[in-house]
A = this chain, B = another copy of it.
């Protein structure tokens, strides 16, 4: 006695999702087939559509359905500022913060030797070409403040400074509304080291 082939294939296929092992794949397959066949169909269609339509923006490397994404195509944005982020989600967060009106470059990842992600896996040459277009005055590195994000920031910073570009890093410090009692010691230490003169 075994599962029908199309059920086993679905369970195996669900395991391509990150964080999904054999048990959850089985639970997902049963849920879709038993409780949400419409959702399963919607998922299959969405996968097809995304595979068909999504490419990388020629300029900033983020996901886009058109050669040049909305942000890159916007002539009103400051052409001299280029902000480097790890993922499209980071770009969206920065846009929501309404603190930046320059352009972006999305690495689509970060250096992560543990996961086998080295410099060759990031589009560093594309970034280099983009940052050296003659228009960019300042490259702002906004990778995460994780160990991996910091190493990535260092590598990119060295690479771009070698081209004579001005390179900055977004600031570390206390979160807005943060209380000293509740913030982690590392953040508090950074906020102390990077203290600024009052205006």
Using a CB–CB distance below 8 Å, which chain A residues touch chain B?
Answer: 1-7, 9-10, 12-14, 16-19, 24, 26-34, 36-37, 39-54, 63-65, 69-71, 87-89, 91-92, 95, 108-109
A18 to chain B, nearest CB (A): 5
A135 to chain B, nearest CB (A): 20
Contact of A39 among B16, B29, B45, B91 (CB under 8 A): B16
Given the interface contacts A18-B27, A32-B47, A48-B44, does A53 sit within 8 Å of B6 by beta carbon? yes
Contact of A46 among B9, B69, B95 (CB under 8 A): B9
Q: Which residues of B contact A71 (CB under 8 A)?
A: 1
- CB-based nearest B residue for A1: B95
Given the interface contacts A6-B49, A39-B13, A65-B5, does A54 sit within 8 Å of B70 by beta carbon? no
Contact of A4 among B41, B42, B63 (CB under 8 A): B63
Whole-angstrom CA separation of A12 from B54 in the bound complex: 16
